[in-house]
Structure formats: C-alpha cells, structure tokens
Amino acid sequence: MATTAIEARGAALDTRHRRVILASSLGTVFEWYDFYLYGSLAVLIGKQFFSGLNDASQLVFALLAFAAGFAVRPFGALVFGRLGDLVGRKYTFLITIVIMGLSTFLVGVLPGYGAIGVAAPAILIALRLLQGLALGGEYGGAATYVAEHAPNGKRGLYTSFIQITATFGLFLSLLVILGCKLLLGEAFDSWGWRVPFLLSAVLLAVSVYIRLQLAESPVFQQMKAEGKHSTAPLTESFLRWPNLKRVILALLGATAGQAVVWYCGQFYAMYFLGTTLKIDATTTQLLIAGALLIGTPFFVVFGWLSDRIGRKPVVLAGCLLAALTYFPIFKGLTHFGNPAIEAASASAPVRVLADPADCSLQIDLVGKKTFTRSCDVAKSFLAKRGVPYENVEVAPGTVARVAVGSQEFSSFDGRALDKAAFAARSAAFGEQVGAALGAAGYPAKADPAQSNYPMLLVLLAILVIYVTMVYGPIAAWLVEMFPTRIRYTSMSLPYHIGNGWFGGFLPSVSFGIVAATGNFYAGLWYPVVIALMTCVIGLAFLPETRHVDLQD
C-alpha cells in the first residue's frame, strides 16, 4: 500500500509539498498574466486590430474578442480535463502552459489592421481561442493538484493560493503595462503595447521549468496504481445523471455568481473608470492595481475561514453582499471619480427623442455596416462623449433630437449622403451638441483636481474583497463535490462555463445594456441578477463539503 504520501495529507504539509504547491501557483500566475494582457489593453487593441470598424463598434468588438477566449474555455475543460483524469495532472499542466505562452507571444508580433486588413482581427481571434482552450485546461488541474496534496481541514487555505494567482496575474500584467508606458512614452500606443506580449516568451521558459519540477498528485498515483482510475471520464461526468446533476448545480449555485462578482469587481470596474468616467488610463490602472494589492490577502483569509465555517456560507455571502451594494458602490465611483458628470446629469439631463424603429444596436462585426439613421447619429455621438441619456419615444418617422436641458438639437438622416457629406453633417451636429454639453458642465474627460482618489481606492478595494469572498473558497468547494476518478473533468466544466460564459461576457453584455439604455448603471443588473440566482440555488441545493475526505 502507498501510505506515506496519503498519510501526509492528514498532517501539516512538509517542505517538499509546500514547494510543489508554490511551483504550481507560480506557473498559474504566468498563465493568467498571458490571458489578461489582452483584457487590460482591450481599448488599445480595438484601435490596432479593429480600425476598420466605426468608432462606436471598436471597443465593443474588442471586448467580444476578449470574451471569445472565455467562450471556448469549457471546451478546453473537456479536452484537458479528460486528459488529466486519464494520464495525470502534471503532464496536462505542461501542455496548457506551452499553448498559452506561444499564442500570447504571437499576439505581440501580429501585424495590425492597417498592414494586413481583415486577416489581422481574424488571426487575433484565433489566438484568443487558443488562449481560452489552454486556460480551460489549466485551472481544474491546478486546483485539483493542490487540493490532493493538502491536509484534511486545510484545503480551503491551501487552494486559496491558487485563487490568488488570477489576481496576481492581472496585477502583474498591469505593472508591466505601466512600466512600459513610463519607459516608452507616446511610443507605447503605436508599438510599445507589443512588449508585454513579447515578454511572455521569458515567462513561458520559466513556467515550463517550474512545471517540470512537479511530482504527480499522490491521490491520483494511488488510484491509478490500484486500477481505479476512470477510462471514460467524459461519460462518467456528463452522461450519468447523479454526477451531471452535481455539475449543473455547481454551475448555477456556485460558479455563475462567483464569476460575475469576480469580473465585475475587477474588469468591469476598470472599464467603467476608463470608458464611462473618462479617467485617464494610467490612473485607472494604478487604482485597480492598488485595490488588488489591498484585497489580495483576503483570498487566504476567506480560504482559511471556509475551513472553519464552510465553503458555502462564505461564497454565498459574497454574492449577496455584491448584489445588494453594487448600485451604490458604482454610483459612488461616479461621485468621487468624475463628479462633473453627476452634477451635469442632475442640472441638465440629456434625452434622446427618437422613434425606436430608427435606432440600431450599434455593433458592426465585419466593419462594413454604417449607422446613419438620425437616432444612430445622435446616440453614437453621445456614447463617444461618455454622456448618460434617457430614451424618449416619439412618433414614427420623426427625426431624432437630442435635448440638453431645455435645449434641443435635431439630428439628421444620413442614408442618402455620401461619405464626405455625412462626415461634414456629423461634425456640424457634434459641434452644436458638444458646445451645449460643455456649457451644461459635461466634461470631455475627468478633471484630476475634482477626483477623490482615496475614496475611489476604498470603493474599488471593497469590490475586490467581494471577489476574494467568492473566489477564495471556490476551488476547495468544487474539488470536494466530485470523486477523484473524474474530479479534473467534472469540476473544470462548471467552473469554466461559469467563468468563461457568465463572467467572460459580462463586460460586453453590460456595456451593451448601457449603450441601449443610456443609463450608466443599467449594466449592473446583469451581475446582480446572476449573483442572486446563485444565492438561491446554492442555498437550496448545494451541500457543505469541508469535511469531505478526498480519498473517498
């Protein structure tokens, strides 16, 4: 019988085990760094690779390309989860890190739209898909590997170090980006943005070396030695109702809410500051980095707490707190980040008076569509200026108007105009409305003298602490829900559907809602509803698992 490795799980981890867990965590940090470089540079990448699109579509399509990597994560979970349950955790790690590192490096050398046309965004999306596939196989293996090494009663604490890696990866990407901006100055926007991607080659070499030092999970080794490993993990995981039921409940009652809280608290908050409140990019990244630095230790705190009181109460409490406080927190971000918008909206509210049939959803996926109806002209201008507005329905066939306080400005129907004439009319319309917005106090960008950065940091840190509540214990909770023979496969799929789909599409969905309604905060309904759904389903149907023995 293999006794030493398994018996060690009941005691404190020795130096060798701690080194193994550290190595696993560091490798995962580098994978998240690679993945989140794109997210951190989404606005700039939109200009480089989607310059053929109209201005209103660039950011949305860049976010959709970012989300494409999340969309395929569940498929990566199936492919690499099956491999991990068949041949082991260690070798699956090596495959995923190589795919992630190479695809990230290639983004750094990929020519832009101006050089190779539509091939540029097509190749970019293909590389994002490869990143998503690799990440889909990474997390389940890392969480399973660490949990199967951890002693009973400490799995929440030890797997919380894996949870830190996602935030550390984002933090590292922000630091590298900021460093490159400071060193390269204006050149960063033209070519310097490629440097953080190219640095992934160094991180790839380090990560491969780290992964080669890992030993296989002792639980998996014993199971395979005894001939108890699964020969058909996909079938056992998803075609047998008892386990499939657990997968579905884990998705809806745990990972969906965890995902929207994670992405809202970090990525959506970052986009909200930069795109909606018009705070400059460097300040936004410094604020997010500061909030991450403050909040990161709480991953370990809540992982440890889940060993004491349970995974379920900690994760569901985080979802509930987020759902109840998102609206006041984001209104606080506006108040302290760009109070001029808040004041102008109260004193001179902007309205778009238009026939709904005249308004389009302004997302152009191929760069060939033009939005020239009067409603589209009006909303496109306001969206680019970052101005909140109210939609007012008028009689069919009426030309859209923009009302700034008591002043009204007629838009125009540009469908019959050539490109030059349309540009001239748009400039004239924008000059009129822009002057009225300026007179009413709507700023073109946030005034640093009016921004309260300490309060912004406090609010952002609260959002990150919510992230740590839901994310710190989630790995241990998922690992403990499924048997060893199909654990890698079974836990990976709900995690990556939750995070890849519910979470990964949050920026695009929420900004789409904002663009359609004109309300800065309407996009928050998406994470609020999902988080509340998770609270209800998790409370009613999911078990507490902290006392589960992984050997069983």
Same domain assignment for residues 360 and 468: no
Does residue 347 register a pLDDT over 80?
A: yes
Q: What is the percentage of the chain residues whose pLDDT exceeds 90?
A: 36
Q: For the segment 482-540, what is each residue's pLDDT rounded down to a tens digit?
A: 887 888 788 888 988 888 788 877 877 887 788 778 888 999 999 999 999 999 999 99
For the ranges 29-33, 41-45, 230-234, 267-271, the one whose mean pLDDT is highest: 267-271
In Å, the largest CA–CA distance within the chain is 84
- Domain of 476, in residue numbers: 4-338+449-541
Residue 17 binned pLDDT confidence (cut-offs 50, 70, 90): low
Same domain assignment for residues 191 and 243: yes
Residue 227 binned pLDDT confidence (cut-offs 50, 70, 90): low
Rounded to an integer, the average pLDDT of 393-408 is 92
The pLDDT of residue 512: 72
- State how far the alpha carbon of 201 is from the alpha carbons of 30, 103, 137, in Å: 11, 10, 20
State the Cα torsion 277-280-283-286 to the nearest 10°. Answer: 90
The pLDDT of residue 365: 42
Residue 120 binned pLDDT confidence (cut-offs 50, 70, 90): confident
CB 251 within 8 A of CB 494: yes
Does residue 67 register a pLDDT over 80?
A: no
List, in order, residues 6 or more apart from 460 with CB less than 8 Å away.
Answer: 269, 287, 288, 290, 291, 333
Same domain assignment for residues 70 and 204: yes
Q: For the segment 257-310, what is each residue's pLDDT rounded down to a tens digit?
A: 999 999 899 889 988 998 889 999 889 989 998 998 899 899 999 999 999 999
In a domain, 126, yes or no: yes
* CATH classification of the domain holding 258: 1.20.1250.20
Rounded to an integer, the average pLDDT of 36-60 is 71
Residue 94 binned pLDDT confidence (cut-offs 50, 70, 90): confident
CB 156 within 8 A of CB 473: yes
Same domain assignment for residues 465 and 411: no
The pLDDT of residue 152: 82
In a domain, 548, yes or no: no
Does residue 2 register a pLDDT over 70?
A: no
* Nearest partner of 404 among 323, 349, 445, judged by Cα: 349
Residue 350 binned pLDDT confidence (cut-offs 50, 70, 90): very high
Residue 255 binned pLDDT confidence (cut-offs 50, 70, 90): very high
The pLDDT of residue 474: 94
Q: What is the percentage of the chain residues whose pLDDT exceeds 70?
A: 87
Same domain assignment for residues 190 and 246: yes
Same domain assignment for residues 353 and 258: no
Q: How many domains does the chain have?
A: 2
Does residue 6 register a pLDDT over 50?
A: no
* CATH classification of the domain holding 394: 3.40.30
In a domain, 358, yes or no: yes
Same domain assignment for residues 333 and 351: no
SS (H, E, C) 431-466: HHHHHHHHHCCCCCCCCCCCCCHHHHHHHHHHHHHH
Same domain assignment for residues 56 and 154: yes
Q: For the segment 242-251, what is each residue's pLDDT rounded down to a tens digit?
A: 889 999 999 9
Same domain assignment for residues 321 and 400: no
Q: Which two tokens stand for residue 46?
A: 């939109």
The pLDDT of residue 180: 92
Same domain assignment for residues 300 and 397: no
Does residue 165 register a pLDDT over 70?
A: yes
> How much is the pTM?
0.82
- State how far the alpha carbon of 57 is from the alpha carbons of 128, 302, 378, in Å: 19, 40, 15
Does residue 367 register a pLDDT over 60?
A: no
The pLDDT of residue 16: 60
The pLDDT of residue 305: 97
Q: For the segment 414-472, what is each residue's pLDDT rounded down to a tens digit?
A: 888 888 898 899 899 999 999 999 999 999 889 999 999 999 999 999 999 999 999 99
In a domain, 379, yes or no: yes
Q: Among 405, 439, 473, identify where a domain stops.
A: 439
- Give the Cα separation of 344 and 404 in Å (integer): 10
Q: Among 402, 420, 439, identify where a domain stops.
A: 439
In a domain, 546, yes or no: no
Q: For the segment 463-488, what is each residue's pLDDT rounded down to a tens digit?
A: 999 999 999 999 999 999 988 788 87
Q: Among 417, 439, 461, identify where a domain stops.
A: 439
- Give the Cα separation of 411 and 460 in Å (integer): 38
Give 369 or 294, the one with higher predicted confidence. Answer: 294
In a domain, 467, yes or no: yes
Same domain assignment for residues 257 and 299: yes
Does residue 10 register a pLDDT over 50?
A: no
Same domain assignment for residues 382 and 498: no
In a domain, 444, yes or no: no
**Mean pLDDT, all residues of the chain:** 84
In a domain, 190, yes or no: yes
* Nearest partner of 102 among 234, 208, 18, 9, judged by Cα: 208
Residue whose pair of structure tokens reads 């696993």 in the numeric block: 24
Rounded to an integer, the average pLDDT of 96-101 is 84
- Give the Cα separation of 247 and 478 in Å (integer): 9
The pLDDT of residue 5: 41
